[in-house]
Structure 1
Amino acid sequence: MRSQYAVAIHILSMIALNPQRTFSSEDLASSVGTHAVVIRSIVKLLRAAGLVETHQGVAGIHLTHKPEELTLLQVYRAVDAPESVFRLHERPNPQCSVGGNILDTLGSVFGGAQEVLDDYLAKVTLADVMSDLARRIG
């Protein structure tokens, strides 16, 4: 399964690097290497978060923010935040000394790790991604 987050950044990068071009979900799917249905589902999440706009019956997806104003944290929250990287298991045995306490322990550890991740992603913009891509593309 592809990361919706990585695909979302790929989609946004394609649009931002080619502002005069109108991309269809099929165009983006070709670049990502997936099916257009996957692209449409991710674009729907990005649109719901206010990061892109689309118009029914009109091809094209447009950014609603300048690349230097759009952080990777915003993208992460748009597509992956409900499914945090740091997930707890659901039903440890409460009668076990470890099982009865592990969720509180891991909740603290994972919460701290999520904060570090969020702080880092808040400092990286789509413009930073575009800059690195432009350097690699040549």
Structure 2
Amino acid sequence: MKPISSRFSIAVHILTLVSSSAQPCTWDFLAGSVYTNPVIIRKILGMLKKAGLVEVRAGTGGASLARPSSEITLLDVYRAVEAAAAEGLFSFHDHPNPACEIGRGIEDALQAELRAAQAALERSLAAATIEGLQGSILDGAV
């Protein structure tokens, strides 16, 4: 199975850092904390902006949250940066053999299980907020 890309963890890192800062965060500041290239930060900030999670000011204006961290769930972040959110987390192999008893029925039988697994993931992500994650980090609970 292809793992969820690092965009998700980077986006959560960015939002948690922006949430903890009293001032808008610059790309270079964010890139220094994430320890990655500012180009990656700009790309992910663009996705987060499109999703309405951050506001980005040109130049050295930096990024700030578009709504309170208590209202930004990890599911919001996942949907903002992962293509799998729209397509579904799991993909199925093309064209199982219809002449085979298992091949004929595997997709229908497995799809219900895969939908349930994705729903469980989404429920868990929906229950967690950037504010809660930030609190866990700052309280040393992790």
CA distance in 1, matches of 2:40, 2:93: 27
Amino acid at match of 2:42: R
Which of 85, 88, 94 is matched with 1:90 structurally? 94
Amino acid at match of 1:27: F
Q: Percent identity?
A: 38
SS at the partner of 1:111? helix
CA distance in 2, matches of 1:56, 1:63: 15
1:88 and 1:106 in contact (8 A); partners too? no
Show the 5 A alignment for 1:39-58: 39-58=41-60
If the length of structure 1 is used for normalisation, what is the TM-score? Answer: 0.86
1:72 and 1:122 in contact (8 A); partners too? yes
Partner of 1:33: 35
CA distance in 1, matches of 2:42, 2:10: 11
Partner of 1:13: 16
Deviates more, 1:96-105 or 1:55-64: 96-105
Does 2:7 correspond to 1:4?
yes
TM-superposed deviation, 1:83: 5.7
Amino acid at match of 1:124: A
1:5 and 1:76 in contact (8 A); partners too? yes
TM-superposed deviation, 1:57: 3.2
CA distance in 1, matches of 2:65, 2:81: 16
If the length of structure 2 is used for normalisation, what is the TM-score? Answer: 0.83
TM-superposed deviation, 1:58: 4.3
Partner of 2:113: 109
**Unmatched 5+ stretches in structure 1:** none
* Runs of at least 4 residues off by over 4 Å: none
2:26 and 2:60 in contact (8 A); partners too? no
TM-superposed deviation, 1:37: 1.3
Partner of 2:134: 130
